[in-house]
């Protein structure tokens, strides 16, 4: 599908100055204002991003972030322009092009593949509720983003951002470095200006890690806040779709449009200011030592900024049973993957021949290109599991409920009167290694991910040319509070800078 638009995008690219920024440098609010005031049309904006994709994704640095383009994108943009001319304004997302991860159901003619050969013909007639909400809000689905195949639940040693159908996505800051994953293409598309906004999904780290590695903001909402229907699953216990943007404001605007489980109507863009740290109690967990000294040094400056703006920092708090929780998490994910993916595959159209996990394993064995670089160990392990009614699964769920939630984040926040936890999101991006897989050494995503609680990452600084992020996380449905803290940090530090598409790091 992407290649079917190659002629169009190549022609459009001829009019684009080399690595032109212009519109790509504007904030979401600036673009939104231009659209609403009709000084910029949705059609012009969509054409601009198609040019960027032709120049930066299909040629030049060949970022490989976009796996499929929407052939109706320009038609959709024109329709929205006509609505605006007629006085109909759908809201802040009206006319804004968005890239969505290719594990989220879009309707024909775009397929939803998870990067997997087995799903290359998975063309649905019904889009996911998330997509319908975006369209109703006036967003233009520009295309689908490449991802770690099966959202990185295929092999235990794969390369983040690689899929059989999409190939290897690159980090726009340093092209031979990992983009992290599994929402690799979503993060890279936003960072490189291939789209204004993007949607990713996370089970554990798959929004926050690529966001941090690619210098953008990512929000992983509370599980259930955004509908998971029509999204190729790993785990209903932990999966959550969320926004990715160059700014906290942009991410908040996008989150407004996709929530379904709010107790009452909420606008996450309200009350954002630089005074949000005043009087807040922020905790640093004791497992910070896993991050290398270079990351800790940047993090220390971030903490100093919060202190200077009125935050009280509490150090050395332990989140209990992290090792046991990691084991329980894997059990839950394996059981859920079998249960949830079998249910999804049963809904795929007739042209998709794989209808359950065992058939998927056989398909991959019969198609060597799917396991050319990485095995399917996690898929095979999931297939061995029984039903989610089994005692082992229920025991793992009880452990998570007790130590990740009740005796973990919830208890510590209550006992210490905390507003949030903070931690570095990532280490500097490692070199892409398609043979041996990721050189992953440290992360802070698991406590919130296992609990099903929200987290948000914001650009924190750099080590050499490689972006680093800082994560804020707290109890269930604390998105509004976390967004306010993240916004204040973003505005006080202005840590983000645009990528320069360097081939490699120079000594």
How would you class 370 by CB atoms within 10 Å of its CB: exposed for 0-12, middle for 13-18, buried for 19 or more?
A: buried
What is the 8-class DSSP label of residue 275? T
Strand-by-strand arrangement of the 420-424 sheet: 66-69, 140-145, 97-101, 197-202, 240-245, 217-220, 455-463, 466-473, 420-424, 281-285, 312-317
Same domain, 165 and 54: yes
- Could you tell me whether strands 217-220 and 455-463 are parallel, antiparallel, or unpaired per DSSP bridges? antiparallel
CATH number, domain with residue 143:
3.90.1300.10
Are the CB atoms for 281 and 416 separated by under 8 Å?
Answer: yes
- Is residue 202 a part of any domain in this protein? yes
- Dihedral sign computed on CA atoms, order 228, 231, 237, 243: negative
Half-sphere exposure of 143 (CA within 13 A, CB side): 29
Report helix, strand or coil for 459. Answer: strand
- Is residue 263 a part of any domain in this protein? no
Query: Do you find a cis peptide bond into 393, omega within 30 degrees of 0?
Result: no
What is the 8-class DSSP label of residue 502? B
Q: Which residues are catalytic?
A: 101, 182, 206
Same domain, 330 and 478: no
- Residues 6 or more apart whose Cβ sits within 8 Å of residue 266: 256, 259, 480
Same domain, 33 and 99: yes
Which string of DSSP letters, residue by residue, matches 109-128? TS---TT-GGGTT--BSS--
Same domain, 252 and 344: no
Domain encompassing residue 306: 281-322+393-493
Boundary residue ending a domain (390, 413, 430): 390
- Identify the pLDDT of residue 64: 99
Q: Which among 51, 13, 92, 10 has a CA at the least distance from the CA of 194?
A: 51
Are the CB atoms for 175 and 199 separated by under 8 Å?
Answer: no
- Identify the pLDDT of residue 471: 98
- Dihedral sign computed on CA atoms, order 407, 409, 412, 413: negative
Q: What are the mean pLDDT values of the chain's consecutive 10-residue runs (507 residues total)?
A: 46 41 88 96 98 97 99 99 98 98 98 99 98 98 99 96 99 99 99 98 99 99 98 99 99 98 82 98 84 96 99 91 92 99 98 99 98 97 98 98 97 98 97 96 95 99 98 98 99 98 92
Q: Residue 270 — φ and ψ, nearest 5°?
A: -80, 145
Boundary residue ending a domain (225, 258, 291): 258
Which string of DSSP letters, residue by residue, matches 397-436? HHHIIIIIIIIIIHHHHHHHT-SEEEEE--PPPPBP-TTT
**What is d(CA 50, CA 194) in angstroms, rounded to the nearest whole number?**
8
- Residues 6 or more apart whose Cβ sits within 8 Å of residue 323: none
The CA–CA distances, whole Å, from 324 to 14, 95, 368, 402, 403 equal: 56, 47, 36, 12, 9
β-strand partners of 455: 220, 473
In 162-207, which residue ranges form alpha helices assigned H by DSSP? 184-191
Same domain, 358 and 482: no
Q: Residue 28 — φ and ψ, nearest 5°?
A: -55, -40
- Is residue 449 a part of any domain in this protein? yes
Same domain, 352 and 447: no
Q: Residue with structure tokens 């905390």? A: 418
Same domain, 482 and 370: no
Residues 51, 56, 62, 65, Cα dihedral to 10° = -80
- Is residue 264 a part of any domain in this protein? no
State which H helix or E strand residue 468 sits in.
strand 466-473
Q: Which among 429, 475, 454 has a CA at the least distance from the CA of 172?
A: 429
**What is d(CA 458, CA 299) in angstroms, rounded to the nearest whole number?**
12
Same domain, 316 and 361: no
Q: Residue with structure tokens 């031979």? A: 176
- Is residue 270 a part of any domain in this protein? no
Whole-model pTM: value is: 0.96
- Identify the pLDDT of residue 265: 76
Number of domains the chain is built from: 3
**What is d(CA 405, CA 214) in angstroms, rounded to the nearest whole number?**
30
């Amino acid at each position: 599908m992407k290649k079917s638009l190659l002629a169009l995008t190549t022609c459009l690219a001829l009019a684009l100055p080399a690595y032109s920024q212009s519109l790509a440098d504007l904030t979401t609010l600036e673009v939104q204002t231009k659209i609403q005031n009709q000084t910029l049309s949705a059609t012009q904006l969509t054409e601009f991003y198609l040019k960027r994709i032709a120049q930066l994704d299909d040629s030049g640095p060949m970022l490989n972030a976009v796996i499929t383009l929407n052939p109706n994108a320009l038609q959709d943009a024109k329709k929205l322009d006509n609505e605006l001319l007629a006085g109909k304004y759908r809201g802040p997302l009206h006319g804004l092009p968005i890239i969505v991860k290719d594990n989220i159901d879009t309707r024909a003619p775009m397929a939803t593949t998870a990067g997997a050969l087995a799903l290359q013909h998975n063309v649905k007639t019904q889009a996911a509720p998330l997509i319908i909400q975006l369209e109703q809000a006036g967003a233009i689905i520009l295309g689908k983003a490449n991802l770690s195949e099966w959202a990185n639940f295929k092999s235990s040693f794969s390369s983040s951002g690689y899929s059989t159908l999409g190939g290897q996505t690159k980090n726009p800051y340093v092209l031979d470095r990992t983009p992290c994953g599994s929402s690799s293409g979503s993060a890279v598309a936003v960072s490189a200006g291939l789209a204004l906004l993007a949607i990713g999904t996370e089970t554990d780290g798959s929004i926050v890690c690529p966001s941090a590695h690619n210098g953008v903001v990512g929000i992983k909402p509370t599980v259930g806040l955004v509908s998971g229907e029509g999204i190729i699953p790993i785990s209903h216990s932990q999966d959550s779709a969320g926004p990715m943007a160059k700014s906290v404001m942009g991410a908040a605007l996008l989150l407004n449009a996709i929530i379904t489980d709010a107790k009452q109507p909420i606008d996450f863009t309200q009350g954002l200011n630089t005074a949000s740290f005043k009087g807040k109690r922020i905790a640093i967990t004791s497992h910070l030592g896993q991050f290398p000294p270079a990351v800790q040094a940047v993090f220390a400056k971030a903490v100093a900024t919060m202190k200077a703006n009125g935050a009280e920092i509490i150090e050395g708090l332990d989140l209990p049973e992290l090792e046991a929780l990691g084991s329980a998490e894997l059990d839950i994910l394996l059981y859920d993957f079998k249960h949830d993916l079998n249910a999804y595959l049963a809904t795929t159209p007739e042209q998709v021949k794989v209808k359950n996990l065992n058939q998927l394993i056989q398909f991959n064995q019969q198609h060597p290109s799917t396991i050319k670089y990485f095995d399917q160990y996690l898929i095979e392990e999931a297939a061995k599991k029984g039903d989610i009614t089994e005692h082992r699964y229920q025991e793992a769920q009880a452990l998570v409920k007790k130590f990740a939630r009740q005796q973990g984040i919830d208890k510590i926040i209550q006992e210490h009167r905390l507003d949030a936890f903070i931690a570095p999101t990532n280490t500097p991006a490692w070199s892409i290694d398609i043979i041996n897989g990721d050189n992953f050494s440290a992360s802070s995503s698991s406590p919130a991910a296992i609990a099903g609680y929200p987290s948000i990452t914001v650009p924190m600084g750099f080590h050499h040319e490689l972006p680093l992020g800082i994560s804020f996380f707290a109890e269930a449905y604390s998105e509004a509070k976390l967004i306010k803290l993240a916004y204040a940090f973003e505005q006080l530090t202005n840590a983000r800078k645009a990528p320069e598409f360097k081939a490699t790091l120079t000594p």
